[in-house]
Amino acid sequence: QSVLTQPPSASGTPGQRVTVSCSGSSSNIADNTVNWYQHLPGTAPKLLIHSDNQRPSGVPARFSGSKSGTSASLAISGLQSEDEADYYCASWDDSLDGYVFGTGTKVTVL
């Protein structure tokens, strides 16, 4: 029962733009930064976006993040087959005094 809500799935054809939403509250997203992780089951999760909209070195520019109020979004522009994975938003929650992950979104490349 995560406090950050994501759609269970999203999809697009190669080259399309796909967005993944993350809905939280005043105790997490509104007051703390949002991070996004890419996860292929059985492998180590990978940090994709930190500090709401910053890409770590080596992450392609087609990945971008944004935040407004209690919600955040991840956008993948120019979708590629290798982008097929599970994506999670995450943030610190001041009420829980812990880190929280979103429910996760499976992105499928059609």
Q: Which spans of this chain sit near other proteins (rule: CB under 8 A)?
A: 2, 32-33, 35, 37, 39, 41, 43-47, 50-52, 54, 56, 86, 88, 90-92, 96-104
Shortest distance, CB of residue 18 to other proteins, whole angstroms?
Answer: 19
Give 15 or 98: the residue with its C-beta nearer to other proteins.
98
Closest residue by Cα to residue 4 from 19, 25, 20: 25
Shortest distance, CB of residue 86 to other proteins, whole angstroms?
Answer: 7
Give 71 or 105: the residue with its C-beta nearer to other proteins.
105
Give 18 or 67: the residue with its C-beta nearer to other proteins.
67
The span from the CA of 79 to the CA of 17, in Å, is: 6
Closest residue by Cα to residue 107 from 10, 36, 18: 10
CB contact at 8 A, 105 and 11 = no
CB contact at 8 A, 103 and 20 = no
